[in-house]
Amino acid sequence: MFEVIDRDGLGRLGLLETRHGPVRTPALMPVVNPNKVLIPPAEMAQRFGAEVVITNAYILYTSKEQKDVDLHDHLGFPGPIMTDSGAFQQHVYGDVDVSNREIVEYQARIGSDLVTMLDVFSEPEHSQTRAAADVDETLRRAAEAVGVKAANAEPGFALVGAVQGGIHPEERTRCAQELSNLDVDIAAIGGVVPLMESYRFQDLVKVIVASKQGLRPRLPVHLFGAGHPMVFALAALLGCDLFDSASYAKYARAGRMMFVDGTRHAAELEFANCECPVCTQISPGELKGNERALAEHNLYVSFAEIRRVRQAIKAGELWELVERRCRAHPALLDGLKELRRHAQWLERFEPVSRHNALFYTGPETVYRPILYRFRQRLQERYSPPRRRTLVMFPEDGKPYMVHYRPAMEKVEAVCNAHFLVKSAFGPVPIELDEMYPNSQSLVPEQLDLEVLEASEVFARHFLAGAGYEFGVLWEGAATLTELEKRREDPNPLDWVLQRVRATSDMQFGRGAADALLAGQVELVRSKNTGRVRNVIVDGRHVLSMRAHDGLFSLRVEGGKVLHRAFPKPTLRVVVETETAEFNRLGKNVFAKFVREADPELRPRDEVLVVDQEDRLAAVGQAVLNPEEMVDFDRGVAVRVREGLPAS
């Protein structure tokens, strides 16, 4: 019922199918109080673009006048409706007068599309022992709710299971793992409203990360109570797909206006500072005390932010949006800084490149997963040319090799050296300067002290095992004088060929260059830029270099070479043997037919599509990461570039 259409890391543009129509994610569900409808749900759809709303089934259940209703007729909303079970009332009042089974059966009876179990709300102050007991009871109730769903021959509804566990990561992950083994359709991360109300965003990040680490990738994730637009981007970055908001009405009653950078009292505004339809038609003075107008403003701002998040995912700019949003409040910045502790996990979902530049927004940029990956692969996959001397250039014009070519020629006239750029993001071997995100990043000339210190640490870590006998920082003529003392017979490297070799190893794994370039190598270069476009070996087209990211597109002849060179499971996506025939014809790989995949693959990696007998069927580009490919039963897993007809 859930398909990923596009993604930026854990952020997903998805399609959630329900019996009352599809919902595009990330999606915002305005909360509709069935006893006090401030803005009719039909108007929410028409004016604000709401595709789904949420109401409280417990309130309906305890109302004699409204108990036996047809939910869609009662709310006047033709689209999907989610219902809450009363868990939040349990948090507020301490208990509710209904059982889990009763409220699940009731939601099914009134026609809810997304039915929520009655979980046990773990408060942030609960000890781990108490949180563990809450998790045990929540999981028991989840199994009971699954039983209710199974008892309906054609249930029609999707079951929302809850992830609880307080602020204890171990309990969150355990709950998520065990919930994923049950037949639930959506996972809701609950018990987080107190964290958001007290601006404990660092704890919120820990809770979401721990929950996501235990959940199956195929499950859409709802973050309960995350109704303020200032958190949408951060939560989406961590893989949350659905949000609900009662805040638009709650804040309006208190005379408060929601913005992406915080909340302001309408009574304190002297000048209009918003472009929404409400604020362009009503003066700040007229807004004061106008609950309906304030609620509309809050909805306009909230839905606009959801659309920005969607566009950021589509454009590959979600990290930039999150970093800018989190600089609006110190507590959000703490949440952002928490992400660097989880870089290794986040990297598994991070695409290998994007079509847009990487923008530096502050010191936090240095710790993005894509930069963490580059530094890790330098250690694990890259082999420097055999040179005893290293010359380190400071970061300057890009591409680095073009900018520093005159200096390189002067050095190579007196010494056989390798060249490295000491960039803000870490060391960059000169032959990898065009590889994403090195040439495709924008960094200010004046760097923060924290970044300078981090750059030094990254460089020292790389150099510790690089094997150079002598290294020097480039300082022009003084450096040449120093290198004269180490004069040796010049043996300059073919830096274009070195670029091909280094990129091959970084992209496909150490040893890939030796395999791919074994033979007579012809490099086809652009007449305009001189950059490599195609790699021909012994007359066979093995690789094409992409202009936008400096990485290779794998051709089928190159796929044959890598298939022979690397044993299973390296670079492989294994599909059912019967369906491999379609991939041989150039058809895309769908996730439902994937049986296993190399755990080292990442979204947009070049892959080998093989059948269950490890026969090469096609080459292409991954859309999902390995665990997603295996878990999803809908959507494209690999976009096939070339098929290999059966011989």
Give 331-373 pLDDT, tens digit per residue: 999 999 999 999 999 999 999 999 999 999 999 999 999 999 9
Q: What is the pLDDT of residue 66?
A: 65
Beta bridge partners of 258: 263
Q: Would you call 554 helix, strand, or coil by DSSP?
A: strand
**pLDDT tens digits, one per residue of 34-73:** 888 899 999 999 999 999 999 999 999 988 766 778 999 9
Identical fold at 3-261+290-345 and 358-484? no
Q: What is the CATH number of domain 3-261+290-345?
A: 3.20.20.105
- Read off the pLDDT of each residue in 106-129 and give the average, rounded to a whole number: 95
Q: What is the CATH number of domain 358-484?
A: 3.40.50.10630
Annotated catalytic residue within 84, 203, 598, 605: 84
Active site residue 84: yes
Report the chain's mean pLDDT, rounded to a whole number. 95
Distance (Å, whole) CA 507 – CA 126: 46
What proportion of the chain, given as a percentage, has pLDDT over 90? 90
**What's the burial of 547, exposed, middle or buried (CB within 10 Å: 0-12/13-18/19+)?**
exposed
3-state SS string for 132-147: HHHHHHHHHHHHHHHH
All residues at 6 or more sequence positions from 85 whose CB lies less than 8 Å from its CB, including other chains: 57, 58, 100, 103, 104, 107, 116, 117, 118, 119
**Are the beta carbons of 509 and 376 closer than 8 angstroms?**
no
Distance (Å, whole) CA 394 – CA 409: 17
Q: Would you call 272 helix, strand, or coil by DSSP?
A: coil
Q: What is the pLDDT of residue 92?
A: 77
3-state SS string for 163-216: ECCCCCHHHHHHHHHHHHCCCCCEEEECCCHHHHHCCCHHHHHHHHHHHHHHCC
C-alpha dist (Å) from residue 4 to 70, 226, 306, 414: 32, 22, 17, 55
Distance (Å, whole) CA 437 – CA 425: 10
Q: Would you call 245 helix, strand, or coil by DSSP?
A: strand
Span 504-643 CATH architecture = Roll (2.30)
Give yes or no for residue 24 having a pLDDT over 70. Answer: yes
Name the nearest CA neighbour of 189 among 153, 225, 156: 225
**pLDDT tens digits, one per residue of 472-496:** 999 999 999 999 988 888 788 999 9
Q: Where are the alpha helices (DSSP H) in 254-368?
A: 277-281, 284-287, 291-315, 318-326, 330-338, 343-347
Q: How confident is the model at residue 93 (pLDDT cuts 50, 70, 90)?
A: confident
The Cβ-side half-sphere exposure at 620, using a 13 Å CA radius, reads 27
Q: What is the pLDDT of residue 71?
A: 93
The residue type found at 466 is A
Least confident among 87-96, 176-185, 194-203, 608-617: 87-96
Give yes or no for residue 249 having a pLDDT over 70. Answer: yes
**pLDDT tens digits, one per residue of 543-579:** 999 999 999 999 999 999 999 999 999 999 999 999 9
Distance (Å, whole) CA 312 – CA 138: 35
Q: Which residue matches tokens 């652009």?
A: 526
* Pair type for strands 589-590 and 636-643: antiparallel
Q: Which residue matches tokens 């006090």?
A: 36
Hey, what are 183's tokens? 């037949």
Name the nearest CA neighbour of 348 among 203, 239, 208, 424: 239
Q: What is the pLDDT of residue 91?
A: 74
**pLDDT tens digits, one per residue of 383-399:** 999 888 999 999 999 99
Which stretch of DSSP H or E encloses residue 428? Answer: strand 426-429
Residue 161 phi, psi dihedral angles, 5° rounding: -95, 155
Query: Would you kindly state where each structural domain of the chain is located, as residue ranges?
Result: 3-261+290-345, 358-484, 504-643
Q: How confident is the model at residue 584 (pLDDT cuts 50, 70, 90)?
A: very high
Give yes or no for residue 520 having a pLDDT over 90. Answer: yes
